Structure 1
Amino acid sequence: MSAARTADILTYVALIALGVFFAVPFAWLISLALRTPAEVYLGAARFIPSEPTLANFATILSDPAFLIYLWNGLKLSAAGGGLAVALAIPAAYACSRIDFRGRGAVMVSLLAVQMISPLVILVPLYRWMNALDLLNRDISVIAIYGALGMPLAVWLLKVAFDAIPRELEEAAEIDGASRVDILMRITLPLARPGIASAFILAMVMNWSQFLIPFVLLERDADWPISVAIFNFAGSVSASTTQLLAAACLVAVLPAVTIFVLLQRMIVSALIAGAVKG
């Protein structure tokens, strides 16, 4: 067997092991969500429920407060993703089309910023928002979501813009179109898959955010689903474990669904610049 073949087999084995590592807790969560309260006490003694039920999901989805939490999470995530894309478009276009000194350093700096955990800036961020009287306001969370998602969006959109032939823009410029007209009428329509991918990824990242809304939003009615589940988990008992598991599954379902349905579009947008020409 060749070395390349052996390397491929080892790679697939490692990926399968990694998939199993993450799939087992998810499968256990599904098992808990399908149990009756009596079967919860069996713990690991029975992985597959003898009488699986969807009553836990019905209980969760019939709770008006839970639906409000879902709406809050969707609202904040979508608005933050839209802001991230709006901020990233001019920056990505400049890095793609304008040859300026330090362009590579700018891109690397954006990537470095993306690697900073929100936990690092949490205390000064809280004090700053408090000074601006923006605590307990959706706009504060949306602004932070937009700032955190912008670096990744810039990288994704730059790839999308790089894949668009410059000749199209040059032809429009010869016809007298301004840089803004070229961007709005030619570049952005052609880069729609990349823009959609950047928005989706930013939105999914925002959906999983916990620290930012947990610190900036104190009112129960303003919490997104991630914060609401955390607070519910703090008061959960053995008799309500199955409800917590059902709530967690419902919370992760939007992100999983988006990736499953739109994975081809996201991957195509990510590799568009690499296969240009």
Structure 2
Amino acid sequence: MSAARTGDILTYVALVALGVFFAVPFAWLISLALRTPAEVYLGAARFIPSEPTLGNFATILSDPAFLIYLWNGLKLSALGGGLAVALAIPAAYACSRIDFRGRGAVMVSLLAVQMISPLVILVPLYRWMNALDLLNRDISVITIYGALGMPLAVWLLKVAFDAIPREIEEAAEIDGASRLDILTRITLPLARPGIASAFILAMVMNWSQFLIPFVLLERDADWPISVAIFNFAGSVSASTTQLLAAACLVAVLPAVTIFVLLQRMIVSALIAGAVKG
């Protein structure tokens, strides 16, 4: 057996092991969500419930408070993702079309900023929002979501803009179009898959955020689903474990659904620049 063949086999084995590592906890979560309170209370070790039920999902979805938490999470995530894309478009377009000194350093700096955990800046953010009287307001969370999602959006949109031939813009410029007209009427429509991908990824990142809304939103009516589940988990008992599992699955469902339905568009947008090169 050749070394290349052996390397491929080891790679696939490692990928399968990694997939199992992440899939088993998720499968156990599904098992818990389908159990009755009696099975959870008795600590049944079997993986497949003896009497599977969807009643846990019906219970949480019939709770108006849970639906409000879902709506809060969707609202904050979507608006934060939209803000990130809106801020990233001019920056990405400038880095793609203008050959200025330090362009590479700017892109690397954005990537470095993306690596900073929100935990590092949490205390300054809280003090800043408190000084601006923006605590317990959606605008505070949305603004921070937009700032945190902008670096990744700039990278994705630069790839999308790089994939658009400059000759198209040059032809429009010869016809008398301004730079703003070229951007809004030509470049942005052609970059729609990349823009949509950047928005979706930013929105999914925002959906999973916990620390920012947990610190800045104190009223439970304003909480997104991530914070609500955390507070529910703090008071969970054996009789409500199955409800917590069902709530976690419902909370994960939007992000998983988006990736499954739009994965082809996201991947094509991510590799567009590489294909062009």
Q: TM-score range by the shorter chain?
A: over 0.9
* Superposition TM-score, scaled by structure 2 size: 0.99
The alpha carbon displacement at 1:43 in A equals 3.0
Counterpart Cα distance in 2 of 1:44 and 1:164: 58
| Residue segments in structure 1 that go unaligned for 5+ positions in a row | none
Counterpart Cα distance in 2 of 1:228 and 1:174: 56
Q: Residues 196-242 of structure 1: CA distance to partner in whole angstroms, max 9, x if unpaired?
A: 00000000000000000000000010000000000000001000000
Change (3 A) 1:48 1:116: same
| Residue segments in structure 2 that go unaligned for 5+ positions in a row | none
Comparing 148-157 and 9-18, the one that deviates more: 9-18
Which residues in structure 2 correspond to 1:173-188 (within 5 Å)? 173-188=173-188
Secondary structure, aligned partner of 2:240? helix
The alpha carbon displacement at 1:183 in A equals 0.3
Change (3 A) 1:188 1:54: same
Counterpart Cα distance in 1 of 2:189 and 2:34: 45
Comparing 42-51 and 159-168, the one that deviates more: 42-51
The alpha carbon displacement at 1:44 in A equals 5.5
Q: Residues 86-132 of structure 1: CA distance to partner in whole angstroms, max 9, x if unpaired?
A: 00000000000000000000000000000000000000110000000
Counterpart Cα distance in 1 of 2:263 and 2:160: 16
Comparing 261-270 and 34-43, the one that deviates more: 34-43
- CA RMSD in angstroms, aligned pairs only: 0.7
Counterpart Cα distance in 2 of 1:24 and 1:171: 55
**Percent identity between the two aligned chains:** 97
Counterpart Cα distance in 2 of 1:92 and 1:42: 56
Q: Residues 10-54 of structure 1: CA distance to partner in whole angstroms, max 9, x if unpaired?
A: 111111111100100000000000000000034362111000000
Counterpart Cα distance in 2 of 1:174 and 1:80: 37
Counterpart Cα distance in 2 of 1:4 and 1:82: 45
Counterpart Cα distance in 2 of 1:163 and 1:149: 22
Q: Residues 226-267 of structure 1: CA distance to partner in whole angstroms, max 9, x if unpaired?
A: 000000000010000000000000000000000011101000
Counterpart Cα distance in 2 of 1:25 and 1:42: 20
Q: Residues 44-84 of structure 1: CA distance to partner in whole angstroms, max 9, x if unpaired?
A: 62111000000000000000000000000000000000000
Counterpart Cα distance in 2 of 1:133 and 1:41: 46
Comparing 181-190 and 5-14, the one that deviates more: 5-14
Q: Residues 153-209 of structure 1: CA distance to partner in whole angstroms, max 9, x if unpaired?
A: 000000000000000000001111111100000000000000000000000000000
Q: How many residues align?
A: 277
Secondary structure, aligned partner of 2:275? coil
* Superposition TM-score, scaled by structure 1 size: 0.99
Counterpart Cα distance in 2 of 1:114 and 1:43: 42
Secondary structure, aligned partner of 1:273? helix
Counterpart Cα distance in 1 of 2:176 and 2:243: 62
Counterpart Cα distance in 1 of 2:189 and 2:262: 19
Counterpart Cα distance in 1 of 2:7 and 2:193: 34
Counterpart Cα distance in 2 of 1:152 and 1:213: 20
Counterpart Cα distance in 1 of 2:96 and 2:114: 19
